[in-house]
Structure 1
């Protein structure tokens, strides 16, 4: 069973200002998590990363990436959504876990190197590995028991490495050790069996099937007939 069961906004801020000018937040948020693996999908700017970040802040994780023990300087861009957010847990609040955001992973890797923590990440500097290898080193060496909030983890992963990442998710969540909430654009990751998918492109946020996602429909349509798309794109 998932550790985090609900995320709701207790009040609504000014709907003309960020983040409440995002359509899915304008009328409040009420999300129920009933799977160990949940995906957030939607177009750029739909609010999925903003909400994931707010959950991470409420968990006490570094908003630039990391867990409760990772403290380092970063350029503050987070919204104030966490101030309006309430989380519900079963049976009690989890403090173990990690918030990973692809866009600021370089800063986290620098923190690991500067504090001589590479042994905890496979014994090799994260900067001395490819971007995708560094991601997998994090997943393999530091993910065990807790809640894992991941913002576009596929950004540096090849299709083959995305499958390897899915294997890591499976081994952890089947053992009852981990809950994953993942914002993604990857049609590969979205195939994960038993996952719940929340669509942020319409308000309120709604649960949809994999085959109903724009990611699946557009990818399938393009691969079925790329020339049709090229004629329209390149005219």
Structure 2
């Protein structure tokens, strides 16, 4: 699909491997990055999944930063930093963009959404000739809601469609029923010409039928089916016979 005919915004990402100083140092030594060449993105939903420490969050952060989002989260209009912790990976990525221009967008980092909420309150406390920013989130302070409620308010009220949404573990604060509601909202936004890139551990979210799933392994990012993911297999085995799985687990020597 060419950049002229594509209906989505971000076609692919490419690591400029010739510029990488060493694949033995962070972040280039991460499994998600070490074998990265060109990663094609689904027009609707792309999932990046993998074990803790595999580099999925670092990769999403780099994509978001290269797109112009604030590394700690938010929109392109956010420009704050509580602690510089993002890697230099974004400087080594080339984004394949289509001619379509996103009218909306957001980078959600579960671990730093508190900082985004604080920044919104800070900006709204300053004199302005425009409606308060919190109006786009439902007019209720995100700090006055539970972590899960604030995540849900973001997705249900702030996301407006025609946008690129990069979400890093959005399920972190959501109950299973809220994750199902998030799936429905994602589908609604996809119908409104939105594109999602999501890093997740949730077998509920990654069940979205119109998606590409890239699982991070020793050979890097490999496209896989939902039923082949470890998340699906482990969850299915456990729910199929919890007593047996617990018996096996409690016999396991974790030392």
1:46 and 1:32 map into 2 onto residues whose CA distance is 19
User: Of the candidates 198, 221, 227, which is equivalent to residue 214 of structure 2?
Assistant: 198
1:223 and 2:239 are equivalent in the alignment:
yes
What secondary structure, in the 3-state scheme, does the structure 2 residue paired with 1:205 have? strand
Task: Give 5+ residue unaligned stretches, structure 2.
Answer: 1-6, 125-132
User: Of the candidates 27, 39, 47, which is equivalent to residue 35 of structure 2?
Assistant: 27
User: Of the candidates 10, 13, 16, which is equivalent to residue 4 of structure 1?
Assistant: 10
Mapping for residues 100-179 of structure 1, pairs under 5 Å:
100-116=108-124, 117-144=133-160, 145-176=162-193, 178-179=194-195
Task: Give 5+ residue unaligned stretches, structure 1.
Answer: none
Mapping for residues 66-85 of structure 1, pairs under 5 Å:
66-85=74-93
* The 10-residue stretch of structure 1 (111-120 or 39-48) with the greater mean CA deviation from structure 2: 111-120
Query: Can you list the C-alpha shifts for 1:86-106, whole angstroms capped at 9, x where unaligned?
Result: 001112564731100100111
The answer as to whether partners of 2:63 and 2:90 remain within 8 angstroms in 1 is yes
TM-score under structure 1 length normalisation: 0.94
Of structures 1 and 2, the larger Rg is shown by 2
What secondary structure, in the 3-state scheme, does the structure 2 residue paired with 1:115 have? helix
- Give the number of equivalent residue pairs: 234
1:27 and 1:230 map into 2 onto residues whose CA distance is 36
What secondary structure, in the 3-state scheme, does the structure 2 residue paired with 1:38 have? strand
Number of the residue aligned with 1:43: 51
Pairwise CA distance, 1:78: 0.8
The answer as to whether partners of 1:126 and 1:134 remain within 8 angstroms in 2 is yes
The answer as to whether partners of 1:35 and 1:194 remain within 8 angstroms in 2 is no
What secondary structure, in the 3-state scheme, does the structure 2 residue paired with 1:186 have? coil
